[in-house]
């Protein structure tokens, strides 16, 4: 157990995560019917969704990779938010992550996958988002989108429903896309956030910034009593004394209910260095 049992600011904030996710969802779902598909959002949300305000950053990256251009606006958005918040975006703002969180509340046996499976996200990013469009050209610019379960669930299914209601011809998605969607929906019931932790290329981008982001998780070894509370709270069952921000961490802040883990900022880190330097000089 940690020495101080009073709830931290981060742990109190974690209780509001559902409401914060819902607030961001309202923004992504085009509440004012203003389609801004020339601007990419910072979250994983299919632009083909009838209620999508912005473009999907992964679709933008893949499309620009196919035409061999650099999407400066999209990269600037991701770098800015990644440097500031890292994977906080995944845990607090992503609508597809919220969907998985909601489905995970259904009581079914849950299994924890090995931490190294988080590396598959980088394979997904490099191969499907960058390499295939780059080397095969514009005809494969949306190769990733043709497989994406978010596109099937948020775009294809609503479009089919609209066509059926209007009496128009239904455009069916490919069989492989629907199979992937079915496997994903099945996996949600048995492991936490399977898309985010195994495949999501956007999560792979944000996780690269976790070690250097403005906000980060800090493990206080002096407060730890090896009670395993932090590991039981973490969905990925990471060992915080090895690495607080695991490969698949979405910074949900559940682990901060253990007082050995807190949210820190680079400013506090720099302030501490300055104070230590002053103490040494005074001595």
88-131 tens-digit pLDDT: 999 999 999 999 999 999 999 988 888 788 899 999 999 999 99
Choice among 4-8, 28-32, 168-172, 264-268 with the minimum mean pLDDT? 4-8
Average pLDDT over residues 1-10: 61
Instruction: For residue 148, give the nearest of 102, 106, 190, 179 by alpha carbon.
Output: 179
d(CA 127, CA 219): 34
Choice among 82-91, 121-130, 274-283 with the minimum mean pLDDT? 274-283
pLDDT at 217: 86
Q: Is the pLDDT of residue 205 over 80?
A: yes
pLDDT band per the 50, 70, 90 thresholds, residue 240: low
Q: Is the pLDDT of residue 239 over 70?
A: no
Global confidence as pTM? 0.87
180-203 tens-digit pLDDT: 999 999 999 999 999 998 999 999
d(CA 217, CA 240): 10
d(CA 30, CA 106): 28
3-class state of residue 216 by DSSP: strand
Instruction: For residue 251, give the nearest of 92, 93, 144, 118 by alpha carbon.
Output: 92
Cβ-based neighbour number of residue 79 at 10 Å: 13
- DSSP letter for 109, please: -
Question: Which residues fall within 8 angstroms of residue 11, CB to CB, at 6 or more apart?
Answer: 253, 256, 257
Average pLDDT over residues 243-249: 74
Checking DSSP bridges between strand 54-55 and strand 215-219, what pairing results, if any? Answer: unpaired
pLDDT at 140: 84
Average pLDDT over residues 169-185: 89
Choice among 40-49, 50-59, 169-178 with the minimum mean pLDDT? 169-178
pLDDT at 2: 44
Average pLDDT over residues 229-239: 77
d(CA 145, CA 68): 18
pLDDT at 3: 46
130's tokens? 């960058």
Spell out where 163-283 has E strands: 215-219, 261-265
pLDDT band per the 50, 70, 90 thresholds, residue 279: very low
d(CA 202, CA 193): 14
Average pLDDT over residues 48-63: 92
pLDDT at 172: 80
Q: Is the pLDDT of residue 156 over 60?
A: yes
d(CA 165, CA 168): 8
d(CA 238, CA 192): 14
pLDDT at 10: 84
pLDDT band per the 50, 70, 90 thresholds, residue 1: very low
Average pLDDT over residues 56-64: 95
28's tokens? 């992504």
pLDDT at 243: 63
């Amino acid at each position: 157990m940690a020495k101080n049992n009073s709830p931290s600011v981060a742990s109190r904030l974690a209780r509001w995560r559902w409401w914060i996710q819902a607030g961001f969802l309202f923004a992504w779902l085009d509440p004012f019917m203003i389609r801004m598909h020339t601007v990419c959002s910072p979250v994983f949300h299919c632009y083909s969704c009838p209620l999508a305000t912005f473009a999907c950053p992964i679709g933008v990256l893949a499309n620009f990779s196919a035409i061999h251009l650099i999407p400066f606006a999209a990269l600037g958005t991701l770098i800015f938010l990644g440097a500031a918040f890292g994977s906080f975006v995944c845990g607090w703002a992503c609508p597809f992550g919220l969907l998985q969180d909601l489905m995970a509340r259904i009581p079914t046996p849950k299994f924890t996958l090995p931490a190294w499976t988080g590396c598959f996200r980088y394979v997904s990013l490099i191969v499907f988002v960058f390499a295939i469009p780059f080397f095969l050209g514009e005809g494969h610019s949306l190769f990733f989108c043709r497989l994406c379960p978010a596109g099937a669930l948020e775009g294809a299914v609503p479009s089919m429903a609209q066509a059926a209601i209007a009496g128009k011809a239904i455009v069916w998605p490919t069989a492989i896309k629907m199979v992937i969607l079915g496997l994903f929906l099945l996996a949600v019931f048995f492991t936490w956030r399977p898309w985010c932790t195994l495949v999501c290329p956007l999560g792979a981008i944000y996780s690269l910034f976790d070690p250097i982001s403005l906000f980060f998780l800090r493990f206080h070894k002096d407060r730890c009593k090896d009670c395993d509370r932090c590991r039981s709270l973490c969905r990925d069952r990471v060992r915080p004394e090895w690495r607080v921000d695991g490969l698949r961490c979405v910074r949900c802040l559940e682990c901060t209910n253990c007082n050995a883990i807190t949210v820190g900022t680079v400013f506090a880190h720099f302030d501490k260095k300055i104070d230590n330097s002053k103490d040494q000089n005074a001595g």
